[in-house]
Structure 1
Amino acid sequence: MVILAIVGGLVALGVAGSVMRGVEESSGAGYPDAEYSLDVPKTLLGGRYELAQDLSDSEDARRIEDHAEGASGYKDTKAAVGQYSLGGDATQGTLVVSGMYGRFKNPDRTRESLLNGAAAGEGSQIAVPPQDFHPDGADVTVTCEVLTKDQGGTEITVPICAWGDGNTGAAMTELTAATMTLDPVEVDLDKAAATAARVRSEMRKPI
C-alpha cells in the first residue's frame, strides 16, 4: 500500500511540477474551442477499477492549474486527477490518472510535458524511452515510457502513458504486484497504450 501511494504521488506531483516545461515554444496558432472536459468517474475500464480518491481539488491539482495560468499555449485549464483500485482493492492493482482539460494550442507538446513531469519524480529513472502508439479506434497519439523508481532499496517498474488533444491531456499508470517487478523491457507498451486510449474514451466528455 505504501508503494502504491508513492507511485500515485509520483504522477500527481511530477505532472504538477513540470507540465508546463517547454510550452513557451508552442505554436502561435489560435486556441481551439472548448468542446470536451475530463470527468473523474466512479469506475474505469468497464467497472474493473473503482475510484479510491478524486484528487482534482487537491493542492497538487491546483498547482497544475496555477502553472497553466502562467504559461503560453494553455487557457481555461482545470485539473482532473484520480486514483483507482482494482476491484476496490488497491493491494491487487492501482490505476492513477493525472491530467487537465481546457484549450490547448499544442497537443504534442502537452503529451511530451506530461511524460517529462512524471519522469521528474524523485528517485525516478527512464528505463524505456518514450514510444508513440496509435491504438485501434483512437483519434490521438498515445506516448508511453517505462520508469524505474527506487523505494527503500527496492526498484519498481512504472509504465506511464500520456495523450494530448486540443481540450484534454493526461498521464496514466496502471500497476499490479506482478507488473511492478517486471523487467522494464518486458512491459507490454502496446497494451498499456490501448488501456490509456480506453481510459481517455471513458473520461473525455462533451461539454
Structure 2
Amino acid sequence: MTRPVPESAAADYAAFGITNPTPVGISYKSSSPASQQTAQLTGAWGTISDPERVIDRHFAKIADNAAAEPSKNTRLVGTLQRVHPTGLGDAMMKCQNMSTRVAQRIITTPICVWADHYTYGEVVVFDPGALRNGGMGVSLGENADTAARIRNDARVPR
C-alpha cells in the first residue's frame, strides 16, 4: 500500500544528491497470518551520480535531526555498516541500528538504505510482537535481505 510522502521529501533527496527526484512511500505487510511484520520503503528515483554519498548524507541527516531534537528520544546506535545482501546487484547498501524510547522501553530497529545510479530507498522492517516483548525485532542482516528483495521488486527496467 502506498504511504504519504512529506512535501519536503523531494528537496531532502535533492540535497542528498539525487537529481530530479520522484519520491515514493510504500508499506508492506507480511502475507503470513502468524507474522505481524511490516516493512516501510521510503525513497525516490532520479539520477544519482554518487550513490555512496547519497547514503552517507541520509544517515548524517538522521544523526543531525536526533541531535537537534533530543526530546524525540531517537538516535543512531552502533556503527554504519556497508552490507551486500544476496540479490543487491550493482547497488550499494549501508545499515545502522536506530533506538527510540517509547514509554519506559528502548526499541531498537535497523535501517537499511540502498542507492544505485537511478534508485534510492530506505527500508525499515518492524516486528511489533518482538518489540512489545522487549526484543529487537529483526536483525540488521534480516532487514538488509528484505531491503534487497524490495529493491528488486520495486525497480523497473529503464
**Range of TM-score over shorter length:** 0.7 to 0.9
Segments of 4+ moved more than 6 angstroms: none
The answer on whether the counterparts of 2:17 and 2:53 sit within 8 Å (CA) in structure 1 is: no
Question: Which residue is equivalent to 2:140?
Answer: 189
3-state secondary structure, aligned to 2:150: helix
Unaligned segments of structure 1, at least 5 residues: 1-50
Matching of residues 119-130 of structure 1 within 5 Å: 119=63, 120=65, 122-130=72-80
Aligned residue runs from structure 1 range 20-169, under 5 A: 51=1, 54-56=2-4, 58=5, 60=6, 62-69=7-14, 71=15, 73-87=17-31, 92-119=36-63, 120=65, 122-139=72-89, 140-169=91-120
Distance 2:87 2:12 in 1: 32
Structure 2 Cα separation of the partners of residues 155 and 72 of structure 1 = 29
Greater RCO, CA 8 A, separation 6+? 1
| Matches of 2:130 and 2:54, distance apart in 1 | 27
Query: How far apart, in 2, do the equivalents of 1:83 and 1:177 lie?
Result: 15
Alpha-carbon shift at residue 167 of structure 1 (Å)? 0.8
Inter-partner Cα distance in structure 1 for 2:142 and 2:120 = 19
Report the Cα offset of residue 188 of structure 1.
3.0
Deviations 1:104-152 (A, max 9, x none): 1210011122333445353212222211111223222221111110122
Q: TM-score, normalised by structure 2?
A: 0.79
Amino acid in structure 2 at the alignment position of 1:114? H
Count of aligned pairs between the two proteins? 148
Unaligned runs of 5+ in 2: 67-71
Q: Deviations over 1:72-91 (max 9, x none)?
A: 843211001112222398x8
Q: Give the percent of matched residue pairs that are identical in Structure 1 and Structure 2.
A: 22
Q: Which amino acid aligns with 1:155?
A: I
CA distance in 2, matches of 1:192, 1:66: 27
Residue type matched to 1:205 in 2? V
TM-score by length of structure 1 reads: 0.62
